Amino acid sequence: GAGFARTHHLEAHKNTHTGEKQYNCDVCSATFADHSNLRRHKITHTGEKPYKCDDCGAGFARKHGLETHRRTHTGEKPYKCDICDADFSQSGILEAHKRTHTGEKPYKCDI
């Protein structure tokens, strides 16, 4: 079956086989195959973005989003590849990058 570098990509892919959309919005009738899409969707109901960037005014629904965004202004890339010395602003991007060296695709579709 297909291989995936991230677990949530595998889960979303599995639902393409079944058509299942197990994540339901409690505000409207929208349904999602992937929990991260539901989480992003819920923000549309409130529009709330309480975390604001002091440099450009961009707003974020989650503090982590602002923290990651700030690195676009500072140029900070604290996550370094120990194989090729490439650097990244987010740890998840580094982890996915490392797999380009190994060819690893740890998340497999059983269908």
For residue 15, CA distances in Å to 6, 11, 21, 33, 109 come to: 15, 7, 7, 6, 10
Residue-level pLDDT at 43: 84
Span 22-53, pLDDT tens digits: 899 999 989 988 888 898 888 889 888 989 99
Residue among 40, 2, 3, 34 nearest 20 (CA): 34
Q: What is the DSSP letter of 56?
A: T
Residue-level pLDDT at 6: 87
Span 49-65, pLDDT tens digits: 989 999 999 999 888 89
Span 87-110, pLDDT tens digits: 999 999 999 999 999 999 989 999
Domain 49-106 belongs to what topology?
Double Stranded RNA Binding Domain (3.30.160)
CB atoms within 10 A of CB 10: 19
Model's pTM, two decimal places?
A: 0.54
For residue 17, what are the contacts with CB-CB under 8 A and spacing of at least 6? 109, 111
Give me the CATH code for the 7-46 domain, please. 3.30.160.60
Domain boundaries, the chain: 7-46, 49-106
